[in-house]
Chain A
Amino acid sequence: MNAYNLLAGIDLRQDAYLGSLLIASLLFLLGLRGLSHSETARRGMKLAAVGMFIAVVGTLLDKRIVSYEWIIGGLIVGTVIGVPMGQWIPMTKMPERIALSHAFGGLAVALVGVAEYANHYMRLGPFDTCALSLEVLLGAMTFTGSLMAFGKLMGVLPGRPQTFPGQNAVNLTFLGGALAILLFLTARPDQQMFFYILLSVGLLLGILGVVRIGGADMPVVICLLNSYAGLAAAATGFALYNPVLIVCGALDGGSGLILALIMSRAMNRSFKNVVFGAFGARLLVDPVATGAGGTVHEGTSEDAAELLKLAGSVIVVPGYGMAVAQAQHAVRDLADLLENAGTSVRYAIHPVAGRMPGHMNVLLAEANVSYDQLFELEAINDEFQRTDVSIVVGANDVVNPAAKNTPGSPIFGMPILNVDQSKAVIVLKRSMRPGFAGVENELFVQPNAMMVFGDAKKTLAEMAAALKKEG
């Protein structure tokens, strides 16, 4: 392997290269720190972008690089695809976009690993081979896993978990096999065939791992894939003795893991349960008959507008349905009307509302909702009892009182928004179908709840029109 020794003597070009990597690492860390406040976030991002530029220029100085045609070709193709992916993808498609970019990250890392191995396999030591194998395994898993997640989010692949008998046993066998091959390669780095078997098992594990994941678990899975992509990059750093890859990989892997933990805590579920549980697999027998018993009070948009006219305070609870209906602007329009009439409007954001962390915040920000009106669960949950009307826009499981009241319900114990405590609840929903957890919602049959069925965007527009007409 032609990597340099970190302790080697002085070489100006090489020192400039290493120095650039150190500066880049620091700028990435400073950039991340900026993200702790919305005021400093953009500055942080710019620092990181400068860091990236420095690292790339520094690397181009590296004396191992002798020709530039392939580099320039790759950079051009990447830029031509990258600009539209950054500039024109609508905010409602953000989970899909993020899943796809994890796939690109995994692909890049896996390809680097394969090329490194193919070029140097006769001269690799055990640590190098172990790091390369881990890199390729994680990279391949991230690649196919993220493509699966992308397909599910796009609706190309079925969103419900696909399960078959013995699935856990099969997955664990493959995982065990992969680890065994990894150990074997560490001992016998020149066994080429096993390296490529490991690559194939990695690709397969990504597919098998995500095929069983349902829509509601997507936030956790996207975070986990983010984490894998980071760890794969860190493994690359170990294999190539490249410190900046290790730092970035650690930051990326750590961030994904932290987010995944936050997400699973917000669903009151363990990692194990998400990965092996196939939550939404239960098929609903009779979606129309409400298991909770009682009657659903159905209203029209005009009825809902009547309620809102009398309200002094309103809390909007958005869910994935808002993203599907692209109703964020309609929500904002309605909120503007209410605020102009003197009604206070706030938004309650559950951590797992939507398909990725912070999904709802981004959509509402896109619709120009001021971020000081967006509240996290803990910050607003005691406010519902003092609120006149809650409007639930396409959210379901995150407002289901069964999580508090019905031991034995699959979502029991999950922290929910206490929408049921407000004086009145307006629920905008396409149909009576249960949410992704496949659980009936007791909220919908409460006497203070009014269901307005139909496309959320259209319903909200009708409510706004009704308010305008009479107000």
Chain B
Amino acid sequence: MECENFIILLYIFVLAIFAGYQVISKVPQLLHTPLMAFTNAISGISLVASLVIAGEGRNTISSILGAVAVAAATINVVGGFLITDRMLRMFKKKERAKA
């Protein structure tokens, strides 16, 4: 049973790699820094794992580890989306008066 699950997860992983490659290779050099900030923000998805550890109420040490993980992941989610937005707002095409 463990093995069956593993195969399903592997399907997901491989397909996500393909989909990701298609999408990411189309991001222009212009937006590479926002891309890094963006992937940083979504890598904060480890928050969903941290939340379970912090909230399981298994033992104090586990909860503390979970809470620190929640904090670290939240920093990436909150900080990551804010800074990506800040950067993307700066990328503008200006209308310049033709001399």
Measuring CB to CB, which residues of chain A are less than 8 angstroms from any residue of chain B? 5-7, 21, 24-25, 28-29, 31-33, 35-38, 41-42, 45, 48-49, 51-52, 55-56, 59-60, 62, 64-68, 70-71, 73-75, 77-79, 81-87, 89, 91, 94, 97-98, 101-102, 104-105, 107-109, 111-112, 114-116, 118-119, 125-128, 222-223, 226, 229-230, 233-234, 236-238, 240-256, 258-259, 262, 339-340, 342, 349, 351, 356-359, 361-362, 365-366, 368, 370-372, 374, 376
Residues of A close to B29: CB separation below 8 A: 262, 349, 351, 357-358, 361, 376
* Partner pick for B28 among A36, A60, A242, CB 8 A cutoff: A36
| Chain B, residue nearest A237 (CB) | B9
A-contact bits for B42-54, CB 8 A (1 contact / 0 none)? 1111111111111
**Taking each of A87, A243, A246, which has the highest tally of chain B beta carbons within 10 Å of its own beta carbon?**
A246
Residues of B within 8 A of A349 (CB): 29
In the complex, which residue of chain A has the Cβ closest to the Cβ of B9?
A238
Chain B residue at smallest Cβ distance from A259: B32
Partner of A5, one of B1, B81, B82, B92: B1
- B85 pairs with A42, CB closer than 8 A: yes
Contact between B41 and A48, CB atoms less than 8 A apart? yes
Q: For the complex, what is the distance from the CA of A422 to the CA of B51, rounded to whole Å?
A: 58
A35: chain B residues at CB < 8 Å are: 27, 31, 34-35, 38
A366 touches B23 (CB 8 A): no
**Minimum CB–CB distance for A116 against chain B, Å:** 7
- A246 and B30 contact, Cβ closer than 8 Å, known pairs A83-B78, A241-B5: no
Residues of B within 8 A of A24 (CB): 45
Given contacts A70-B54, A349-B29, contact A107 B72 (CB under 8 A): yes
Instruction: State in angstroms the CA–CA spacing of A32 and B23 once bound together.
Output: 7
Q: Distance (Å) between the CB of A98 and the closest chain B CB? A: 5
User: Which interface class (under 10, 10 to 19, 20 to 34, 35 or more) fits B?
Assistant: 35 or more
Q: Report the separation of the CA atoms of residues A250 and B95 in the bound assembly, to the nearest whole angstrom.
A: 39
Cβ contacts A to B, 16 pairs, < 8 Å: A24-B45, A28-B42, A33-B26, A41-B31, A59-B52, A74-B67, A75-B71, A77-B71, A77-B74, A102-B40, A108-B50, A127-B2, A229-B43, A242-B48, A245-B48, A255-B36
**Partner pick for B67 among A71, A97, A362, CB 8 A cutoff:** A71
Cβ–Cβ contact B42 & A358, under 8 A: no
Decide if A65 touches B34 in the complex (CB within 8 Å): no
Q: Given contacts A48-B42, A237-B13, A241-B5, could you give 18 more A-B pairs where the C-beta distance is less than 8 Å?
A: A35-B27, A38-B31, A52-B41, A73-B70, A74-B69, A78-B77, A86-B81, A108-B44, A112-B46, A126-B2, A233-B46, A245-B49, A246-B9, A246-B12, A249-B43, A252-B40, A254-B17, A259-B36
A91 neighbours in B (Cβ, 8 Å) = 87, 90
Q: Verify B32–A248 contact, CB threshold 8 A.
A: no
Known: A74-B67, A74-B69, A230-B43. A87 touches B27 (CB 8 A): no
Encode contact with A along B1-21: 1 for CB under 8 Å, 0 otherwise: 111111011001100110111
CA distance A35 to B34 in the complex (A): 8
Known contacts A65-B56, A342-B99; decide if A226 and B39 are in contact (CB<8 Å): yes
Give residues 52-92 of B contacting A (CB, 8 Å): 52-59, 61-92
* A346 → chain B closest CB, angstroms: 12
Question: Nearest Cβ distance between residue B37 and chain A, in whole angstroms?
Answer: 7
Taking a contact as CB atoms closer than 8 A, the residue among B16, B33, B67, B78 that contacts A356 in the complex is B33
- A98, A362, A365: the one within 8 Å of B92 (CB): A365
